[in-house]
Structure 1
């Protein structure tokens, strides 16, 4: 048995115990690349087998691609990290800030500084998801701006208006809140550049890297079914010809892409190898961008002890490993210390600590 076989034994266990119907993994270990598919694209026994060409809803591992897109635009002088977002999105001008994060929505004070592009990419704008029921969470759910792996039904303009009408949880730049800022970032880029996020990614990331299987709508003939766990078995959340086979209401930079394991590996490898971005931009993307105050406010469910956030990606500070995972059952990471890049795509939504991708990444780093 090769060392690579040891890697695949980890997700093979998930197929064997029926935690997910199948998976496709792609790894690069000290220059050697292997793509491995196992199981089936749906729970039905007669469903198609997984292949290297199977597409998945990659969810939040979209975010580093958005970070790279932004930094390339910054390098070319087309937008600045410290530009005020209200320049292009007046819906986000002059926000109010909650006195109490759990308090009523009308108990607010004025923001002491404007929201900038940097606040969006670092998730420090003050807009974002909380972890317990409160008036703000209820309002986000009611207005269809609470994060969802299945996306939002509204248009981009509607999303900006709805989020902009809600108060911030903290003053801009004084905390960390997950998710929402990345969708705002995508919409700001669209207005600043006059192109959709999909067009920008295709021109500046996917095209140059040959990522032909990555887009905001998948091919129903190749797209795996999506599931979430229930008390007994799995519940279908999106069939191959469902939401992700059609263009969305707006292209969500927080997690709206469909891709293959090979394409995801190509992107993460490219950043690791110094393609697309200058050394300075790559360093900015993949090293800590948070102040101690910002980092201290981040919930452990998103940033575990020893980890932090750069310009669009999570980072393990002790090792310099960087990458992210998606709520639909996806994960991708670069480990410079072991010279590895690892991608695992499944179609079962993460439901808790038992769904941690860390055993997979440990197996990749352990290859000798």
Structure 2
């Protein structure tokens, strides 16, 4: 499998129907034709063979630039699995135990208070009864949150400090962690699930433990071994700015919440044109479909790709196992907030969500298929039962605008014939 997105196998050789695979492209093209999606690129691989690459529409609608195989995409939260893998590589070296309090390396979190009641201006707080541990960061059970949730007084505190869809200008990872540690946690660590900046803090932990900035760790320890030459925190000086897809937001208005169209989101999109001060382990990478496919195939193959082994298969199996207490799903244990996957019938491990119950999930899928996505509607999943990897790229905020991820599973699975 090359990084150039060249189909290398007839789908029939690995049990897929080419005519049925074309249905995926037609469905996504309808979104483009309806003005609901700027463009898209998707890949389907089975048994390590790339059998389908679909693309359509534009990476920049206004300037008439089409989606190309080497288009660069802001993958936002698809950065999180990379950071989680980085942390577990250090775990495999004996750098920490999953149960270690993070205050051992990030002392600013030792005294972080926990919200109990009150408003954002006058919160009532209590001390931690349980420290934030490394596994709390990996599982989003730390009590940290996101400013863009708009669902809790602590979210408002984040926004007041400049943490909504970005971070304060010029602040690096050490500074943003100090800022988050000064704000109360939403709940006692380990007692609930809440999507938040946990993986950003995990990225800072990787920096402190490894002694390297996160971009250097990624480049040397992950991207070089996997041959991911076009993945970085923002564009590099040598990169062509026109290769980066334009970022769009949905224009709401149709019945049921469907967008009436899309509009460029250039102010937010410009952040990816250069390396930022804050290397966001939770959402800072730009990548190509060919590059990220190599990362996803590494996951499917148990921790190695093209001779580059990042993790042992036992470690990876532990990461894609549900870690929610009592085997619960996210709808039962988590908070009813924005997330980049449906919550019913879905668990969460160390950096990934996974399907626990396809009937409750409501989509044709396999038990144990694991995934994550990004805020601009990018997504991937690995199906260990069917030996499949699927990736999808576009640049549309928010990711809840269109049910792309559910369509992907349904349309890929209907194409499996043996």
When normalised by structure 1's length, the TM-score is: 0.92
Q: Counterpart of 1:326?
A: 374
1:10 aligns with one of 10, 17, 27: 27
Are residues 194 and 135 of structure 1, via their aligned partners in 2, closer, same or farther at CA, if it must alter by over 3 Å? same
1:184 aligns with 2:205: no
Residue 238 of structure 1 corresponds to: 266
Gaps of at least 5 residues in structure 1 are none
Aligned counterparts of 2:151 and 2:98: Cα–Cα separation in 1 = 33
Q: For 1:247-286, list aligned pairs within 5 A.
A: 247-274=275-302, 275=304, 276-286=310-320
What is the rounded CA distance, in whole Å, between the counterparts of 1:340 and 1:152 in structure 2?
40
2:357 counterpart of 1:312: no
Distance 2:101 2:264 in 1: 41
Aligned partners of 2:79 and 2:284 also within 8 Å = yes
Aligned mates of 1:298, 1:57 — CA distance in 2: 27
Q: Which residue of 1 aligns with 2:244?
A: 223
> Does the 8 Å contact 2:75/2:376 carry over to 1?
yes
What is the aligned residue count?
A: 365
Tell me whether 1:20 sits opposite 2:37 in the alignment. Answer: yes
Within 5 A, what are the aligned runs for 1:1-368? 2-33=19-50, 34-44=52-62, 46-100=63-117, 105-129=122-146, 131-146=149-164, 148=165, 153=169, 154-218=171-235, 219=239, 220-231=241-252, 232-238=260-266, 242-274=270-302, 275=304, 276-292=310-326, 295=330, 296-300=332-336, 301-302=338-339, 303-318=342-357, 319-350=367-398, 352=400, 354-367=402-415, 368=417
Tell me, yes or no, if the aligned pair for 2:172 and 2:279 is still in contact at 8 Å: no
2:156 and 2:387 mapped to 1: Cα distance? 44
Q: Secondary structure at the match of 1:128?
A: coil
Quick check: 2:233–2:286 contact (8 Å CA) kept in 1? yes
> 1:79 Cα shift?
3.0
Alpha-carbon deviations, 1:60-92, whole Å to 9, x = none?
111111111111111112233222211221211
Alpha-carbon offset, residue 340 of structure 1: 1.2
Distance verdict in 2 for CA 1:172–1:105, change over 3 Å = farther
Confirm or deny: 8 A CA contact 1:226 1:239 kept in the other structure: no
* In structure 2, distance between residues paired with 1:140 and 1:62: 21
Matched position secondary structure for 2:390: strand
Residue 3 to residue 252, structure 1, CA distance change in 2 (3 Å): same
**2:126 aligns to what SS in structure 1?**
strand
Structure 2 counterpart SS, 1:5: helix
Larger RCO, structure (CA 8 Å, separation 6 or more): 1
CA distance in 2, matches of 1:133, 1:63: 22
CA contact (8 A) 2:329 2:346 kept: no
Query: What are the Cα deviations for residues 142-186 of structure 1, in whole angstroms up to 9, with x where unaligned?
Result: 11233x2x5653322221121111111111111111121111111
SS at match of 2:137: helix
Q: Distance in 2 between matches of 1:152 and 1:334?
A: 35
| Aligned counterparts of 1:25 and 1:354: Cα–Cα separation in 2 | 16
Partner of 2:11: none
Q: For structure 2, list consecutive stretches of 5 or more residues without a partner in the other structure.
A: 1-17, 253-259, 305-309, 358-366
CA RMSD of aligned residues (A): 2.3
Secondary structure at 1:253's aligned position in 2?
A: coil
Once residues 78 and 399 of structure 2 are traced to their aligned partners in structure 1, the CA distance between those partners, rounded to angstroms, is: 17
Shift of 1:210: 0.6
Report the Cα offset of residue 132 of structure 1: 4.4
User: TM-score under structure 2 normalisation?
Assistant: 0.81
SS in 1 for 2:40: strand
Q: What is the rounded CA distance, in whole Å, between the counterparts of 1:160 and 1:66 in structure 2?
A: 16
Kindly state the Cα deviation for residue 10 of structure 1 after the two structures are TM-superposed.
2.2
1:95 alignment partner, SS class: coil
SS in structure 2 of the partner of residue 157 of structure 1: helix
Structure 2 distance, partners of 1:350, 1:278, is 35
